[in-house]
Structure 1
Amino acid sequence: MKPVPPGECRQCWTHAHNPDIHRRQDQSKDCPQCVAHMGGNHGSQIVPKKPSIWW
């Protein structure tokens, strides 16, 4: 699996790109972790971006 790119949430990225996470789940229900992050509540899960140094 590719590493999480800067500016993305670690949990959202992992849940979107790793099919094994949702394979064990009942397909008629939403993933509670994904639902918790849908409102933008990512907390400290965002991978920091490198500072721009083009000046």
Structure 2
Amino acid sequence: MPAKPAPGGQCPQCWQHAYDKSIHRRLKPDQDCPQCVDHLHNGCPSLVPKKPSRWW
């Protein structure tokens, strides 16, 4: 059963890969998901970077 659609403000790929177990079911025990690894190294395009803290 596929996961529910990502809520507003959430990355659809991150949400789907976190909650839809069928995506990673075909991977071997020590194998990393290529899409997750790519997403990890290149960043999540749906996340807005935080502003630097300037309270000093």
TM-score by length of 2: 0.63
In structure 2, the gaps of 5 or more residues are: 47-56
Q: Which has the higher contact order (CA 8 A, sep 6+)?
A: 1
Pair 1:24-2:32 in alignment = no
Q: After superposition, what is the alpha-carbon deviation per residue over 1:11-44, rounded to whole angstroms, capped at 9, x for unaligned?
A: 111111000010011121110100111135333x
Structure number with the higher helix fraction is: 1
Q: Percent identity?
A: 48
List structure 1 runs of 4+ shifted beyond 4 angstroms. Answer: none
Please report how far the alpha carbon of residue 3 of structure 1 lies from its aligned counterpart in structure 2 after TM superposition. Answer: 1.6
In structure 1, the gaps of 5 or more residues are: 47-55
Q: Which residue of 2 aligns with 1:15?
A: 17
Structure having the higher Rg: 2
TM-score by length of 1: 0.64
